[in-house]
Amino acid sequence: MSRKLLESDVNEINELLKKSKRIVICSHYNPDGDAVGSVLGLSAVLKQKGYQVEAILPNPIPRFYRFMFGAEGIKYYSQEQNECESSLCSADLIFLLDLNHLGRLGDKMSAFFESLEAPMIMIDHHQQPSDIAKVLYSDTTFTSTCEMVYHFVDQMGWMEFLSVRAMECVYAGMVTDTASFRFPVVTADTHRIVANMMDKGLKHAPIHQAIYDTQSESRLRLVAYALSSKLEVWQESGVAVVYLSQEELERFNHQSGDTEGLVNQALSIDGVHLAAFFKESEDEGKIKCSFRSQGNFDVNTFARTHWNGGGHYNAAGGHWVGTLREAVERFKVLTA
């Protein structure tokens, strides 16, 4: 698909905005850096343009993303359901960022979305987007939804409204979704965007420090335990897996985001081309799954076929109904 918005899409977005005063921006359950950065970055731009904007996420963001501009104003559906539903019902326009179907909002929030009448604009870089949006800006060649938001703002002619604080949000999503710009999908254009933002005042070092150098002691101990005691490597097949139970998560005072990056740690082992992370969900009998690969192993198809999920070619997720041990054994059999 084209990396540019069609002229017809730009015209339709402008028509929708002419009829809108209240805008709500949402992203997926268990929001990562790209979800938070794209929501807050676009929120800041639209507020600068004079719109009433609310950011609503299914559940709270990790502690190390709270430095982003506007984070304190996010509403969480899991904590303020009635207030969130009221805001969504009164919205003139809804943006869906970094998600390709309503199911990624979580069961309760996605069910509520089915009743909404406000038009939606979807900006996303995952494969196989659904057709729920009035305007769909979808392109899998982008590193992140935050990179798409930058292009979106540029193509809409809004660059004067992209403040340094908004750029910090955009950069945070780009750096986290690319694992510090190491993935093959990163292009020269990606780096040009960063350079352009730095020319306009973006300071990248404090963002890295806020995300990667402010770990809690309990998180560091959880990661150490997971890698020392719950990592299995099957060298003959080039596969590794890390898995954690609810009891183990609670033992280390697990907070949202504490297990981010564990699957990448497993993939970093020499000779490993496919890695998985499984953890027990608070929903009894449900196992959350994350998959990462190097080379030509398509984890998007793997997750869609076997794990009720999906994502990107080299990064995907899903869930499994059963026990943690059953999930690990199933993964071993499927990858043998």
What CATH number corresponds to the domain at position 330? Answer: 3.10.310.30
| Judgement on whether residues 162 and 78 belong to the same structural domain of the protein | yes
| pLDDT at residue 305 greater than cutoff 50 | yes
Mean per-residue pLDDT of the chain: 95
Q: What is the CATH number of the domain that holds 62?
A: 3.90.1640.10
Burial 69-81 (b: 16+ CB within 10 A, else e): bbeeebbbbeeee
Distances in whole angstroms, Cα of residue 241 to Cα of each of 167, 223, 261, 264: 35, 14, 13, 10
Tens-place pLDDT, residues 148-179: 999 999 999 999 999 999 999 999 999 999 99
Provide the domain limits for residue 169.
7-211
Q: In this predicted model, what pLDDT tens digit does every residue of 181-190 receive, in sequence order?
A: 988 899 999 9
**Same structural domain for residues 201 and 323?**
no
Regarding whether 187 and 260 lie in a shared domain, the answer is: no
Per-residue model confidence as pLDDT tens digits over 30-73: 999 999 999 999 999 999 999 999 999 999 999 999 999 999 99
Same domain, 74 and 145: yes
Structure confidence at residue 256 (pLDDT)? 87
Residues 129 and 265 in one domain: no
Q: Let me know if residue 144 belongs to a domain.
A: yes
Q: Is 9 a residue whose pLDDT tops 50?
A: yes
State whether 156 and 42 are in the same domain: yes
Residue 202: inside a domain: yes
CA distance 146 to 41: 8
Q: Helices 188-199 and 164-177 meet at what angle, rounded to 10? A: 150
- Is residue 317 domain-resident? yes
Q: How confident is the model at residue 3 (pLDDT cuts 50, 70, 90)?
A: confident
Number of domains in the chain: 2
Domain boundary among 176, 196, 211: 211
pTM score:
0.91
Q: Is residue 286 domain-resident?
A: yes
- Domain shared by 207 and 222, yes or no: no
Q: Over 80: is that where the pLDDT of 13 sits?
A: yes
Give the confidence band of 2 by pLDDT, cuts at 50, 70, 90.
low
Strand intervals (E) in 50-202: 52-57, 75-76, 93-97, 120-124, 135-138
How many CB atoms are closer than 10 A to CB 14?
11
Tokens of 316: 């995907």
**Residue 34 sits in the same domain as residue 174:** yes
Alpha-carbon gap, residue 197 to 149, rounded angstroms? 13
- Tell whether 245 is covered by a domain: yes
- Residue 299, pLDDT > 90, answer yes
Q: Tell me the average pLDDT across 222-245.
A: 97
Name the domain boundary from 211, 233, 263: 211
Q: In this structure, are 200 and 226 located in the same domain?
A: no
3-class DSSP string for 96-118: EECCCCHHHHCHHHHHHHCCCCC
Query: Do 20 and 160 sit in the same domain of this protein?
Result: yes
Mean pLDDT for 283-293 is 90
In a domain, 264, yes or no: yes
Say how far apart CA 194 and CA 140 lie, in whole Å. 19
Exposed/middle/buried for residue 48 (C-beta within 10 Å: 0-12, 13-18, 19+): middle
- 2 lies in some domain: no
The residue out of 193, 211, 229 marking a domain boundary is 211
**Res 1: pLDDT:** 43
